[in-house]
């Protein structure tokens, strides 16, 4: 089976953010039989780990240590063609941009966290060029 990139608008990733990534690994790994692998240097200060389901060859999500900079959360992410454009569209439709990360390391997707008009947090990302 050949892997294909998800189409824009598809649910494509999820993240769990926590102050205690080891505890989260133990919980989710034990509950769902997920494995975790260091994702390497996403940024100087971000501990990011990829999550893979048992029997799968590709990661489906990530776990990261907030370092107290964000509240803990679990969030779904949608793939988009252009993060900046989608942020502008979200604001025009009554949503808000929590943070945008358009200048990331080479090979790392650009991404943003948004809130819908009711305040629900979600993520968007565009695959690396």
The pLDDT confidence band at residue 27, using thresholds 50, 70 and 90, is very high
Does residue 1 carry a pLDDT above 90? no
Give the per-residue pLDDT at 47: 82
| pLDDT digits 0-9 by tens, 29-40 | 998 899 999 876
> Which tokens is 94 given?
């009554």
Cβ partners under 8 Å of residue 25, min gap 6: 36, 49, 63
Confidence of residue 11 (pLDDT cuts 50, 70, 90): confident
- Model confidence over 39-92: pLDDT tens digits? 765 555 678 899 999 999 899 999 988 888 888 889 999 999 999 999 999 999
What is the share, in percent, of the chain residues with pLDDT greater than 90?
56
85 and 59 in one domain? no
What is the number of domains present in the chain? 2
* Together in a domain, 85 and 128: yes
**Confidence category of residue 97, pLDDT binned at 50, 70, 90:** very high
Q: What pLDDT score does 16 carry? A: 93
Query: What does each C-alpha distance from 117 to 21, 87, 122 come to in angstroms?
Result: 30, 13, 12
CATH code where residue 19 lies: 3.10.180.10
Model's pTM, two decimal places? 0.71
Instruction: State the residue range of the domain holding 32.
Output: 8-77
Residue tagged 């305040």 (tokens)? 119
Residues 23 and 55 in one domain: yes
Residue 3: per-residue pLDDT? 57
């Amino acid at each position: 089976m050949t892997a294909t990139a998800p189409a824009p608008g598809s649910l494509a990733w999820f993240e769990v953010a926590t102050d205690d990534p080891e505890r989260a690994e133990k919980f989710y790994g034990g509950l769902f039989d997920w494995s975790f692998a260091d994702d390497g240097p996403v940024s100087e200060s971000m501990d990011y780990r990829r999550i893979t389901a048992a029997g799968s060859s590709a990661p489906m999500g990530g776990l990261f240590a907030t370092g107290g900079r964000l509240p803990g959360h679990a969030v779904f992410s949608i793939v988009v063609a252009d993060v900046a454009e989608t942020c502008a569209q979200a604001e025009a439709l009554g949503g808000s941009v929590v943070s945008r990360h358009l200048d990331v390391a080479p090979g790392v997707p650009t991404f943003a966290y948004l809130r819908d008009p009711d305040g629900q947090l979600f993520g968007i990302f565009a695959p690396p060029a």
